[in-house]
Structures are given as C-alpha cells and as structure tokens.
Amino acid sequence: MPDPDPLSSDAPSPRLRRLLLTGAAGGLGQVLRERLAPLAQVLRVSDIAALGAPHGPHEEVRPCDLADKQAVDALVAGCDAIVHLGGVSVERPFEEILEANIKGVYHVYEAARRHGVRRVVFASSNHVIGFYRQTERLDAGVPRRPDGYYGLSKSFGEDVAQFYFDRYGIETVSIRIGSSFPEPLNRRMMNTWLSYDDLLRLVEKALFTPGVGHTVVYGASANRTVWWDNHAAARLGWVPRDSSEVFRAKVEAQPPLAPDDPNALYQGGAFTTQGPFED
C-alpha cells in the first residue's frame, strides 16, 4: 500500500496546509517538531544536522543548509508558513554567523517572497538588546543594542522581517526569546526564562493572529522579575502562564554572582564578553 497522501486526508482540518520548521534538530526544534504537528496537514522539518526518519505520514524531512540559496528556495516551495529557528544559536566567529544566520535569514525571506508564503515566525533573541543593564525596563521600541555577532545577526533578521513586510506584505512575528530551556540554569535566567509551554502558546499566536504586520514580542514567562514590556504586542493576546519562581531555591543554591559579573549587569549576560575569536 502506498503511503496515504497527507493533503487529501479526511482527518479534522488543521489550520495550515504545510508548515516549515527550520532548526528542527535543535533544542527548541525538537520540542516544536512534536508540538506544532497538529497545526498543519503536513509539517516539513529541516536542519543541517540529522533529523532521523519522518515522525509519521504527516511529516516531511528535508535536510538543508540555510547558507545555500537554491536549497532554501526548494525547501520553502509549497509551504504556507514558516517557523524559522535554524541557525547558529550562540556567539561564534562572524563568518559562521554570516553563513547560517545572515545569509540564512535572507534566503528564507527571499524564498518566502518567491513562493507566496504570507507568515513567518522568526526566532530572534534577547541578545539584540543584550547591552542594556538589568536595571532597565524595555519595550519593543527601544533602540537595539546587540551584544555580539550573534545578536547583530538577529537584529539583521528583524530588519529583514520589517523590510519584507513593508515591501511585500509578508507578515512576521519576531520573538526575542529570553532563555528557553526545561528550567532556568542560573540567576540571570530567573528573569529571562521562557517555558516550553509558554513558547508553544506564543508560536501559535504568532502563526494565527491576523494583521500582525511585523510585530516584535519578548519571549519570557511570567517570572517574578521580567525586564521586558510587551504592550506593543498586545494584539497577539499572549499571556504567559508559567514562572521561574518554582526553580528559585535550586538556582539560588548556586554561588552568588560578583557585582561586576556580566551575568549580574547586562541583560545579555556573558554574551557581552564573548569573542572576538580572532585575537
């Protein structure tokens, strides 16, 4: 028996026909690979790293290097929305960031334009504003202060998203993710932590809320202290539900930070001191 055609299934109709998830082999990609599946008739998962076999007949596995323009063009063809997580996710030499993140995000949007994709969810990062002090409270309108090449690449990605909306009407929600892990790993992440459940709910809002244009939203759970104000993203109707507070005792058992430790001073923490790698 040939595999059934997932696009002609009689199953209850998910809201998207084919959703592309880049970075699907990564930490967040593995989580969203499972949890975004019900939103689309077909989930197309992609990464440069191994992805294994498709997770059932409603999944397509498409290995791809985001730095390869033609490959990304083929990857995006046939999709109606993209959750773009792929790329280098930490501070690295500029040349690595250039290929995966800067060329990569351009390739994704250029392919989206060519193939009529109307909605992108872009995994931006708190490192676009990493050089603000932890005492400052920011909304989405503050000037960006990237804390390294990685933060610069995410800042570029947000500009690309704005440009492709202004010029071509492709809508994007750029999520400035704080720290999305199973639990906060240190004192700084008590403020920046984003639970996987809150992330999933935010990605859903980002995919389906009408009329977002290019909206920037900070991705942090309802932690006791949050440095970010999301009033400019109220249209999304996203209200985080989880809190890092349940992990406080465990995190505060760690040695205290020195007052001049970048993890105690800057919103971007230690990213503000990493690199350059050439010296």
What's the min distance (Å) between Cβ of 123 and ligand NAI? 3
Determine the residue type at 139.
D
> Which of 89, 153, 223, 272 lies at the binding interface for ligand 15L (CB under 6 A)?
89
**Integer Cα distance of 243 and 67 in angstroms:** 37
Which part of the chain contacts ligand 15L (CB under 6 A), choosing from 44-52, 63-71, 121-129, 133-141?
A: 121-129
Please state, in angstroms and rounded to a whole number, the distance separating the CA atoms of residues 226 and 192: 7
Q: Which is nearer to ligand NAI, 88 or 190 (CB)?
A: 88
Work out what residue 23 binds among ligand NAI, ligand 15L, none; the CB cut-off runs from 5 to 8 Å by kind: ligand NAI
Q: What are phi and psi of 277, to 5 degrees?
A: -95, -5
Among 84, 127, 144, 187, binds ligand 15L (CB under 6 A): 127
CB atoms within 10 A of CB 39: 19
Q: Minimum distance from CB of 266 to ligand 15L (Å)? A: 10
Instruction: State which of residues 37, 76, 177, 190 lies at the interface with ligand NAI (CB under 6 A).
Output: 177
Task: Give the binding range for ligand NAI (CB under 6 A) out of 53-61, 80-88, 140-148, 232-240.
Answer: 80-88
Let me know if 150 is a catalytic residue: yes
For tokens 């349940």, the residue is 246
CB contact at 8 A, 252 and 187: yes
Active-site residue (options: 106, 109, 149, 150): 150
Size of the site for ligand NAI (CB under 6 A): 27
191 binds ligand 15L (CB under 6 A): no
| Cα gap 106→100, rounded to integer Å | 10
The option from ligand NAI, ligand 15L, none interacting with 36 (CB < 5 to 8 A, set by class) reads none
- Token pair recorded at residue 117: 């994709």
Q: Could you tell me if 219 and 228 are in contact, meaning their C-beta atoms sit under 8 angstroms apart?
A: no
Residue pair 214/186 in contact by the 8 Å Cβ criterion? no
C-alpha distances (whole Å) from 114 to each of 74, 77, 213, 238 are: 10, 8, 19, 31
Residues annotated as catalytic (active site), given as ranges: 150
> What residue ranges bind ligand NAI (CB under 6 A)?
23, 25-29, 47-49, 64-67, 85-89, 99-100, 104, 123, 125, 177, 179-181
